[in-house]
Copies of this chain bind each other. A is one copy, B any other.
Amino acid sequence: MILSIVGSSGSGKTTLITRVVPILKKAGLKVAVVKNVHEDFEIDKEGKDSWKIYQSGADVLITSQKKLALIKRIDCKDLDELVERYLNDYDLVLTEGFSKAGKDRIVVVKEPEEVENFLQGKVVAVVCDKEVEGYVWFKREEVEKIANFILEIWKKSF
Q: Does A40 contact B (CB under 8 A)?
A: yes
A63 and B68 CA atoms in complex are apart in Å by 16
- Most B CB contacts (10 A, CB to CB) among A25, A36, A40, A67 go to A67
Total identical chains? 2
B67 contacts A69, C-beta separation under 8 Å = no
A77 contacts B61, C-beta separation under 8 Å = no
A40 contacts B57, C-beta separation under 8 Å = no
B14 contacts A59, C-beta separation under 8 Å = no
Mark A72-99 against chain B: 1 for CB-CB distance below 8 A, else 0: 1111010000100011001000101000
| CB-CB under 8 A for A22 and B57, given A68-B82, A69-B69, A74-B67 | yes
A32 contacts B59, C-beta separation under 8 Å = yes
Q: Which of B33, B43, B82 contacts A59 (CB 8 A)?
A: B33
Mark A120-135 against chain B: 1 for CB-CB distance below 8 A, else 0: 0000000000000000
Q: Min CB distance, A66 to chain B, in Å?
A: 6
- Most B CB contacts (10 A, CB to CB) among A14, A59, A64, A77 go to A59
Q: Min CB distance, A88 to chain B, in Å?
A: 10
A18 and B57 CA atoms in complex are apart in Å by 8
When A and B form their complex, which 7 residue pairs have the shortest distance between CB atoms, in order from nearest? Answer: A18-B56, A21-B56, A70-B70, A43-B69, A14-B49, A33-B58, A31-B58
